[in-house]
Amino acid sequence: MNIPNLAGIGMTSQRTRERMITSLMEKGISNWAVLDVMRTTPRHIFLDEALAHRAYEDTALPIGYGQTISQPYVVARMTEAALGRRRPEDGPLARVLEVGTGCGYQTAVIAQLAERVCTVERIQPLLAKARKNLSLLNFRNIRSKHDDGSLGWPEQGPFDAIIAAAAPQHVPAELLQQLADGGRLVIPVGGERGTQQLQLIERQGDHFNTQTLETVHFVPLYIGQVQHT
């Protein structure tokens, strides 16, 4: 597990952070490893200064380029679903793929619960911003690239878990094929906002078992790369 280096990182009040954790618990998040990571990860550094004071509100916030940093509850819910029934004695996930790096916040959360995280972002300037944010925390177990996230990262697979931060109309076959046996894909499906369902897909050999978790609101998963915005 990779613990971020918080030296030199401006800390917000502990009371503000604890209010966020209380809200997550009230909404059903029960995995203590996820709650502990969410408590200590400095969400404010992933936001522009003008929005940093709202970092620990349980809401999505803009990060530029038409994208948002996900609501803390959604980050916790997806992370908890990706971990599944793992116990502390089982150790961290070996390898996780993240589709849609965004500002790097979800990346930072899951990187503390996995041996390696491979993250893909299609918007180059946003990836540059995420890399800068993550470098502040001195992570050493994250690999990132600018590419079409719907294709995954086959050279780095198979993955114990895949977390997608954007919603395709249909689940990309490439992501399913990059799941390890027993691996879990957590992905919003539906394309347009307002009609999306967060799905948990677990691979058992050549079979994929799908469970719908809840209704969500994500940006659509677009195909291709964006060099400049």
Residue positions annotated with a catalytic role:
70
Contacts of 54 (CB under 8 A, 6+ apart): 47, 61
Q: What phi and psi values does residue 133 have, to the nearest 5 degrees?
A: -60, -45
Spatial contact of 117 and 144, defined as CB atoms under 8 Å apart: no
Contacts of 158 (CB under 8 A, 6+ apart): 95, 178, 179, 180, 181, 183
**DSSP output for 30-85:** --HHHHHHHHHS-GGGGS-GGGGGGTTSSS-EEEETTEEEPPHHHHHHHHHHHHTT
